[in-house]
Chain A
Amino acid sequence: MSDNHLTQESASRRQFLKGSTAAMGGLMVGAWLPPFAPKSAAAAAVATQKGALGDRFAEGFGAFVRVGHDGRVAVISPKIEMGQGIHTGIAMMVAEELEVGLDQIDLQEAPPDADLYTDTLLQFQATGGSTSTRYTWEPLRRAGATARMLLVEAAASVWKVEAGQCQARDGQVLGPDGQALGYGKLVDLAATYPLPETVELKQPEAFRLIGTPAQRLDTPAKVNGEAKFTIDLDVPGMLITSARACPVYGGTVRQVSDRAARAIPGVKDVVVLENAVAVTATNTWACFEALKALDIEWDYGANRELNSARLGEKLHEASRRDGVVAAENGNIDQSLDTAATQFEAVYEQPFLSHSPLEPMTCVAHVQADGCDLWVGTQVPGLAQQTAASITGLSPEQIRIHNQWIGGAFGRRLDFDFITQAVQIASKVDYPVKLTWSREEDMTHDMYRPRYVDRMTAAIGDDGYPAGWRHRIAGGSIIARYLGGLPDNGVDFDAVEIAVDPVYHLDDLKVHYIREEPEVVPISWWRGVGVLRGIYAVECFIDELAHNAGIDPLTYRKTLLQHRPRVVAALERLAEQSNWGDPLPEGRGRGLAVGEVFGSVVATVVELSAVGDKGIRIDRLVTVVDCGLVTNPTSVKAQMEGGTLFGLSAALFNEIEIEQGQVQQENFHEYRQLRMGEAPSVEVDIVPSAEAPGGVGEAGTALIGPALVNAVHAAFGDRVRQLPLTRSGYYIV
Chain B
Amino acid sequence: MQTVKVNNQTHVVDVPGDMPLLWVLRDILKLTGTKFGCGIAQCGACTVHMDGQPIRSCVLPVGDVSGREITTIEAIGEQPLAQKVQRAWLDHEVAQCGYCQSGQIMSAVALLANNNRIDDHAIDQAMAGNICRCATYTRIRSAIQDVSESVGVWQP
| A contact set with B: CB distance below 8 Å | 82-85, 215-216, 218-229, 231-232, 234, 240, 265, 282-285, 288, 355-359, 404-409, 435, 437-439, 633, 637-638, 640-645, 647-648, 666-668, 672-676, 678-681
Contact of B131 with A672 in the complex, beta carbons under 8 Å? yes
The 10 closest A-B pairs by CB, nearest first: A225-B33, A83-B97, A222-B98, A406-B99, A676-B124, A644-B135, A83-B96, A225-B73, A678-B137, A232-B32
With the chains together, A406 CA to B138 CA distance in Å?
Answer: 19
Contact of A676 with B90 in the complex, beta carbons under 8 Å? no
Q: List 21 A-B contacts (CB under 8 A).
A: A221-B98, A224-B73, A225-B32, A225-B102, A226-B33, A284-B23, A284-B26, A356-B133, A357-B37, A358-B97, A438-B39, A640-B135, A641-B96, A641-B134, A666-B39, A667-B38, A675-B130, A675-B141, A676-B124, A678-B135, A681-B138
User: Which B residues lie within 8 Å of A355 (CB)?
Assistant: 133
A226-B33, A407-B133, A435-B36 in contact; A637/B139 too (CB < 8 A)? yes
B77 within 8 A of A: yes
Contact of A82 with B97 in the complex, beta carbons under 8 Å? yes
Contact of B135 with A641 in the complex, beta carbons under 8 Å? yes
B15 within 8 A of A: yes
Contact of A645 with B105 in the complex, beta carbons under 8 Å? no
With the chains together, A355 CA to B130 CA distance in Å?
Answer: 15
B148 within 8 A of A: no
B51 within 8 A of A: no
On chain B, the number of residues with a Cβ less than 8 Å from chain A's Cβ atoms is: 57
Q: Most A CB atoms within 10 A — which of B16, B86, B133?
A: B133
A85-B96, A645-B134 in contact; A283/B32 too (CB < 8 A)? no
Residues 109-150 of chain B, each 1 if its beta carbon lies under 8 Å from chain A, else 0:
000000000000001110110111111111111000000000
With the chains together, A674 CA to B137 CA distance in Å?
Answer: 8
With the chains together, A590 CA to B143 CA distance in Å?
Answer: 30
User: Which B residues lie within 8 Å of A220 (CB)?
Assistant: 90
Contact of B105 with A83 in the complex, beta carbons under 8 Å? no
The one of A265, A357, A408 in contact with B16, judged by C-beta atoms closer than 8 angstroms, is A265
Contact of B127 with A219 in the complex, beta carbons under 8 Å? no
Contact of A637 with B136 in the complex, beta carbons under 8 Å? yes
B43 within 8 A of A: yes
With the chains together, A406 CA to B34 CA distance in Å?
Answer: 13
Given contacts A357-B131, A438-B39, A637-B136, 17 further A-B contacts (CB under 8 A): A84-B96, A220-B90, A223-B95, A225-B74, A282-B27, A283-B23, A285-B23, A357-B43, A437-B39, A644-B135, A648-B135, A667-B43, A668-B40, A673-B137, A674-B130, A675-B123, A675-B128
Contact of A357 with B105 in the complex, beta carbons under 8 Å? no
Return the chain A residue nearest B75 by Cβ: A225
The one of B27, B130, B134 in contact with A83, judged by C-beta atoms closer than 8 angstroms, is B134
User: Which A residues lie within 8 Å of B132 (CB)?
Assistant: 357
Residues 80-108 of chain B, each 1 if its beta carbon lies under 8 Å from chain A, else 0:
00000010011001111111111001000
With the chains together, A282 CA to B45 CA distance in Å?
Answer: 22
With the chains together, A633 CA to B92 CA distance in Å?
Answer: 9
B49 within 8 A of A: no
User: Which A residues lie within 8 Å of B134 (CB)?
Assistant: 83, 407, 641, 645
User: Which B residues lie within 8 Å of A228 (CB)?
Assistant: 32
A407-B133, A681-B138 in contact; A358/B99 too (CB < 8 A)? yes
With the chains together, A221 CA to B43 CA distance in Å?
Answer: 21
With the chains together, A674 CA to B140 CA distance in Å?
Answer: 12
With the chains together, A283 CA to B89 CA distance in Å?
Answer: 32
Return the chain B residue nearest A674 by Cβ: B128
Contact of A438 with B37 in the complex, beta carbons under 8 Å? yes
Contact of B43 with A359 in the complex, beta carbons under 8 Å? no
With the chains together, A85 CA to B136 CA distance in Å?
Answer: 13
User: Which A residues lie within 8 Å of B38 (CB)?
Assistant: 438, 666-667
User: Which B residues lie within 8 Å of A437 (CB)?
Assistant: 39
B56 within 8 A of A: no
Contact of A283 with B19 in the complex, beta carbons under 8 Å? yes
- The distance from the CB of A647 to the nearest CB of chain B, in whole angstroms, is 8
With the chains together, A675 CA to B125 CA distance in Å?
Answer: 8
With the chains together, A621 CA to B36 CA distance in Å?
Answer: 34
With the chains together, A411 CA to B7 CA distance in Å?
Answer: 35
B28 within 8 A of A: yes
User: Which A residues lie within 8 Å of B128 (CB)?
Assistant: 674-676
Q: Most A CB atoms within 10 A — which of B27, B45, B89, B136?
A: B27
User: Which B residues lie within 8 Å of A284 (CB)?
Assistant: 23, 26-27, 36
B42 within 8 A of A: yes
- The distance from the CB of B121 to the nearest CB of chain A, in whole angstroms, is 8
With the chains together, A231 CA to B25 CA distance in Å?
Answer: 13
A232-B32, A641-B134, A666-B38 in contact; A405/B141 too (CB < 8 A)? no
User: Which A residues lie within 8 Å of B97 (CB)?
Assistant: 82-83, 356-358, 404-408
User: Which A residues lie within 8 Å of B36 (CB)?
Assistant: 231, 284, 359, 435
- The distance from the CB of B79 to the nearest CB of chain A, in whole angstroms, is 12
